[in-house]
């Protein structure tokens, strides 16, 4: 693992954005794996800046998002589809048909998951951006006795719903289920960037990167991947002795 502790938020955003847009610059039809949450917002801002200043086109690129809430339509303000439009897609020239998110409104979640997994198999992710949940989740792969490899529907843990309640009017509005790429699907990406900010993540960062590889900390499975770049701000990295 290549672990970097950055002095400023801006540096973290810039480096992560450079990896992602750099992949498209080198190969215009690159496949990007994207994430949501508060951490990637600055990264997407930097990508938009670089897209404009360096005229890097996304016309041939493809994106796959990690996850989506079940029961929220794409135009719902808190859906991850809306988030992606707001923070990235509406500012770049990526064709709408090239931007994939799981459909949380699908009549059959099982079929939707299989369909998403098939698309991922056809267009493997070159570079996957990940954030980290306080309980060690990646995407919406929650800690537990077992983990699913492929894209699947999950019940969200109360701690995750609490953490995400800040984006909704009240916790009751936070969906109870989501569709997420599985840890197996995530680990198929050729390169993975894990971006983490904030003192409240310092313990889980240490556990994920240096603790035992365990389904109780889904991010610890990243230790088994050969090309992971970890970008931390000082606070998130403060429990590491590098
Ligand atoms: N499903 C997303 C995750 O993909 C994300 O990594 C996590 C952390 O979010 P934040 O960056 O806001 O702490 O939040 C959500 O639960």
Ligand 1 within 6 A of 39 CB? yes
Query: Which of these ranges, 43-52, 151-160, 218-227, has the smallest mean pLDDT?
Result: 151-160
- For the cut 80, the answer to whether the pLDDT of residue 107 exceeds it is yes
The DSSP output letter for 134 is T
Catalytic residues: 67, 135, 137, 142
The reported pLDDT for the residue numbered 241 is: 84
- The CB of 102 under 6 Å from ligand 1? The reply is no
Residues 155, 161, 167, 172, CA torsion sign: positive
Other Cβ atoms less than 10 A from the Cβ of 52: the count is: 11
Q: Is the CB of 139 under 6 A from ligand 1?
A: yes
State whether the beta carbon of 38 lies less than 6 angstroms from ligand 1.
yes
Spatial separation of the C-alpha atoms in residues 121 and 224, rounded to whole Å: 20
- C-alpha to C-alpha distance for 217 and 41, rounded to whole angstroms: 24
Q: Is the pTM of this model over 0.80?
A: yes
Return mean pLDDT, the chain.
97
SS3 104: coil
Whole-Å CA distances, 43 to 46, 71, 198? 5, 27, 15
DSSP 69-91: ETT--TTSTTSHHHHHHHHTGGG
Measuring from atom 4 of ligand 1, which residue has the nearest CA? Answer: 139
Give the per-residue pLDDT at 86: 98
Q: How is residue 136 written in tokens?
A: 């060690």
Pocket test for ligand 1, best of 39, 182, 198 (most atoms within 8 A of CB): 39
Evaluate: CB of 237 within 6 angstroms of ligand 1. no
Q: Whose CA is nearest to atom 9 of ligand 1?
A: 37
Asked if 227 contacts 126 with a C-beta cutoff of 8 angstroms, the reply is no
How far is 173 from 169, CA to CA, in rounded Å?
A: 7
- Of the candidates 77, 87, 69, 84, the residue with the CA atom closest to the CA atom of residue 176: 69
What pLDDT sits at residue 242?
76
What CATH number has the domain spanning 2-209? 3.40.50.1360
Nearest protein Cα to ligand 1, atom 6: 131
**Does pLDDT of 139 surpass 80?**
yes
Q: From the CB of 208, is ligand 1 less than 6 Å away?
A: no
**Cα 140 to averaged position of ligand 1 atoms, centre (Å):** 8
Distance 36 CA to ligand 1 centre (A): 6
- H helix runs in 145-215, sequence order: 158-164, 183-187, 202-210
Task: Classify residue 206 as left (phi > 0), alpha (psi -120 to 50) or beta.
Answer: alpha
Q: Exposed/middle/buried for 64, CB within 10 Å: 0-12, 13-18, 19+?
A: buried
- At residue 60, the pLDDT reads 98
Nearest Cα residue to atom 8 of ligand 1: 133
């Amino acid at each position: 693992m290549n672990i970097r502790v950055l002095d400023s938020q801006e540096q973290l955003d810039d480096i992560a954005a450079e990896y992602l847009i750099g992949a498209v610059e080198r190969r215009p039809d690159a496949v990007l794996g994207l994430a949501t949450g508060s951490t990637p917002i600055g990264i997407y801002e930097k990508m938009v800046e670089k897209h404009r200043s360096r005229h890097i086109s996304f016309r041939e690129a493809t994106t796959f998002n990690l996850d989506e809430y079940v029961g929220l339509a794409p135009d719902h303000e808190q859906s991850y589809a809306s988030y992606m439009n707001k923070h990235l897609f509406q500012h770049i020239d990526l064709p709408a048909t090239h931007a994939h998110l799981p459909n949380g409104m699908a009549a059959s979640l099982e079929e939707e998951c299989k369909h998403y997994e098939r698309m991922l198999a056809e267009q493997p992710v070159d570079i996957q951006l990940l954030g980290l949940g306080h309980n060690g989740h990646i995407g919406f792969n929650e800690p537990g006795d077992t983990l699913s490899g492929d894209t699947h529907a999950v019940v969200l843990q109360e701690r995750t719903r609490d953490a995400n309640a800040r984006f909704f009017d009240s916790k009751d509005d936070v969906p109870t289920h989501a569709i997420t790429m599985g840890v197996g699907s995530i680990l198929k990406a050729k390169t993975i960037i894990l971006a983490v900010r904030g003192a409240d993540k310092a313990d889980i960062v240490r556990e994920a990167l240096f603790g035992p590889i365990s389904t109780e900390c889904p991010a610890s499975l990243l230790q088994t991947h050969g090309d992971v770049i970890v970008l931390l701000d000082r606070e998130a990295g403060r429990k590491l002795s590098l």
